Amino acid sequence: MLTDAQKQIRFQGIGGSDVAAMLGLSPWRTPMSLYLEKVNHLVDENQNLFMELGHDLEPIVAKYFEKKTNKKCELAEETIIHPEFKFMLANVDRRIADENALLECKATGELTKSKGWGDEGTDEMPQHYLLQIAHYAMVCNVEIVYLAAMSWGREVKIYTYQRNHKLEAKLLQREKDFWLNHIEKRIPPAPTNLEDVKAFWADAGMGKILSADKAIEDSWEKMSVINKQIKELEKQKEELQFRLCEAIQDNEIVKDAAGKVLITWKNRSNNRFDVTAFKKEHPDLFDKFTKQSTTRVFLLKESKE
């Protein structure tokens, strides 16, 4: 778990978990989202359950690695900075005693080929992990990075990354370009999805008007047609659901002749916070903890045809 100080240091450079995002190869982040994190000093305080479990399981994975390999691990607590390129950072899990090597611990899903995992002992792993440990090898100048991956308590496999200088040379050039030409110059990378565009242009220029060119008009026309198709399909869907619910009545489950479940229609209970009642009973507290937020809303004005 990074300390508050380490979280602040991360804004000063590119860390191992940033590399895949920088290259557009992360399952979770884009180059634009990484850019906005660095220049706006955005810290995600909403650590999800997956991340919490990974942190909690790290000592267990490291202990298993020690037991299986007879290698001694040392906890690495400080952020490591590349001696030449100060924007290259590393927060590693463990150092290997008496060996110029590191250990990275992961708690993840299935360790199968379909998920990007190869044979144990190789460096065949999901590319975002490979890029992370290749970055660590560069920053820390080590010859080997071991990666111990736990499949949620079922098994642990150990993978080995040997210095790949050809890969690292390419990474170095991409990291230098991203930091020097985007972060330092405050020039954002190209957006790659709708969320990128919404995040970068989150605030509207009050009263600003753009004259539509042919590309905008063509996209508007196509989207208008799609919206009409969606509305028609939604009507058809609602009609079919009405017919099904009318036929099911008070039954919970519908099966076909072979016993396969086709439909379930069951009661489900949940707890909802009654905002109206709370505001009435505790108006002062409601005002105290009410926070205004601004969202930029996209509305497509469709033709009447």
Q: Would you list the domain boundaries of the chain?
A: 4-200, 214-269
**Non-local CB neighbours of 156 within 8 Å, separated by 6+ positions:** 61, 64, 65, 68, 148, 149, 150
CA–CA distance, 220 with 26 (Å, rounded to integer): 31
- In this structure, what token pair is assigned to residue 222? 């196509």
- Report, as ranges of residue numbers, the positions in the chain whose pLDDT lies below 50: none
CA distances to 16, 34, 127, 131, 182 from 25, rounded to whole Å, are: 13, 12, 8, 9, 18
pLDDT score for 292: 83
CATH classification (class only), 4-200: alpha beta
Residue 146: both structure tokens together: 């071991």
pTM of the entire predicted model: 0.80
Predicted local confidence at residue 42, as pLDDT: 81
Q: Quote the CA–CA distance of 220 and 216 in Å, as a whole number.
A: 6
